[in-house]
Amino acid sequence: MKLAVFGYGYWGPNLVRNFTAIGQTIKYVVDSDQSQLNKAQKAYPSVTTTLDADIAINDLEVDAILIALPVRFHYDIAKKALLAGKHVMVEKPMTVTGAEADELIEIATKQNLILMPDHTFLYTSAVRKIKALIDSGEMGDLLYFDSIRVNLGLFQHDVNVLWDLAPHDISILSYLFNEKPISVSATGKSHRDSNIENIAYLTMHYKSDFIAHASASWISPVKLRTVLIGGTKKMIVYDDLEPTEKVKVYDSGFEINEIEEQNKYKVDYRVGDIYIPKLEMTEAIAGMANDFIKAIESGGEHTPVSDMHLGALVVKTLEAADKSLKENGTEVKLN
């Protein structure tokens, strides 16, 4: 398969390296910065580098476009590429608005093309292990998802801290849990003159009694990447900063027994063994790359794990969160 990579900044080189490693051909690297193109040329002499996006998009030999540009360019380039008959993989978040995401999905569906956002975390062995634990029924019914992603920096110029860090949580959650959120509440604060929040909190509400929450900050003295996931039978602590013991499964729980008289209840706690499964040593980007190629080759039969509808949900959730943020937490419905 012949691919064109758009954007050779932070993430682009990873895409080139991983797609090359699984035997695909990178025909073009496109960037608006000639010095980045020079780097690409030096590392991969056989690649054609160009400042002109249209050359790659209009080349009939190119099967798919990989977009690693800032989020504000995603929609335009993806739309052009889809309309030119190319499959598209686009960095997360997929677009700036839910309407844009919906439009891209519509085009891709009509054209029978693969459109895939790159939620790389879904391909990590930790998240896959948690998915397997939940799907096996071992966890019981899910009760909550509670995430903390904080560190010092990196402030971004055009999106707030939720757009930077919460896509991980929203995509992982969508992958793990079938039910979709019906509304969100978000609060946060900007500590600079611009109006871009650098610390924020997001609650996702569901029709069932499941609840999800994400804390995100660029102004924490320590880096934390911890998610608590509670089920009626077992609970998980997922600490992504642990070098090997990322997923700890607690055989702990509680049971609520209503007591007849007075309509009271009694809660029985259970604290049992802890189990830390060994995780596969796999590179998540390679898994993502393979999934994209597999989806293309299957002619759409195979739906990638990081699927376009999941990508759209991430964008719509963040869009709603922004609205709630401006109203200091008012619930905003998702449709």
H runs (alpha helix) in 50-183: 53-58, 74-83, 98-111, 125-135, 161-176
Nearer to a second copy, 205 or 294 (CB): 205
CA distance 100 to 68: 17
Choose which of 48, 50, 79, 155 interacts with a second copy (CB under 8 A).
155
CA distance 78 to 142: 36
Instruction: Tell me: does residue 148 bind a second copy (CB under 8 A).
Output: yes
Quick one: tokens of 89? 């993989």
Residue span 246-285 as binding mask against a second copy, x where in contact by CB under 8 A, dash where not:
----xxx-x-x-x-----xx-x-x-xxxxxxxx-------
Instruction: Tell me: does residue 163 bind a second copy (CB under 8 A).
Output: no
Instruction: Tell me: does residue 144 bind a second copy (CB under 8 A).
Output: yes
CA distance 87 to 85: 7
Helix (H, G, I), strand (E, B) or coil at 18: helix
Nearer to a second copy, 13 or 230 (CB): 230
CA distance 309 to 313: 6
Nearer to a second copy, 32 or 190 (CB): 190
The torsion region of residue 112 among left (phi > 0), alpha (psi -120 to 50) and beta comes to left
Instruction: Tell me: does residue 146 bind a second copy (CB under 8 A).
Output: yes
Residue 52 half-sphere exposure toward CB, CA atoms < 13 A? 5
Nearer to a second copy, 57 or 199 (CB): 199
Question: Which segment (17-25, 38-46, 84-92, 235-243) binds a second copy by CB under 8 A?
Answer: 235-243
Question: Which segment (37-45, 159-167, 237-245, 282-290) binds a second copy by CB under 8 A?
Answer: 237-245
Instruction: Tell me: does residue 317 bind a second copy (CB under 8 A).
Output: no
CA distance 25 to 46: 10
CA distance 1 to 137: 39
Q: Which residues bind a second copy (CB under 8 A)?
A: 143-144, 146, 148, 150, 152-155, 157, 183, 185, 187-194, 199, 201, 203, 205, 209-211, 213, 215, 217, 219-222, 228, 230, 235-237, 244-245, 250-252, 254, 256, 258, 264-265, 267, 269, 271-278, 324, 327-331
